[in-house]
Amino acid sequence: EPEVTQTPSHQVTQMGQEVILRCVPISNHLYFYWYRQILGQKVEFLVSFYNNEISEKSEIFDDQFSVERPDGSNFTLKIRSTKLEDSAMYFCASRGVGTSGKETQYFGPGTRLLVL
């Protein structure tokens, strides 16, 4: 079954360091997303990406964040200078028809980021 994968599953970093979170979306999907979930809170939209450019971003997605699709398979989220409040689970999603037979967003397992 095709699925969205994310690496690493966990990352610990020092405040001020740069981190890159990686995602491999489902291969025939064209729309990609990043969401985050602070522990115990709801899932929040960060950014959507289509045709090699950002289609929409939230207020959370400030200049410290960037996304890239460096090749035909990977989709990355970079945080330039991490802050304590960036600690969260980061979910990648891709949109298309998946195993359910319906078009929807399918989520990866997440990367848990801890900023110390």
Partner 1 sequence: AQKVTQAQTEISVVEKEDVTLDCVYETRDTTYYLFWYKQPPSGELVFLIRRNSFDEQNEISGRYSWNFQKSTSSFNFTITASQVVDSAVYFCALSEAGNAGNMLTFGGGTRLMVKP
Please report whether residue 24 would count as binding partner 1 according to CB under 8 A: no
Least separation in angstroms between residue 113's CB and partner 1 is 13
DSSP 58-115: -TT--TTEEEE--SSS-EEEEESS--GGG-EEEEEEEEEE-TTSSEEEEE---EEEEE
Which residues 50-109 are close enough to bind partner 1 by CB under 8 A?
50, 55-56, 58, 89, 91, 95, 98, 100, 102-109
Q: Which residues contact partner 1 (rule: CB under 8 A)?
A: 31, 33, 35, 41-45, 47-48, 50, 55-56, 58, 89, 91, 95, 98, 100, 102-110, 112
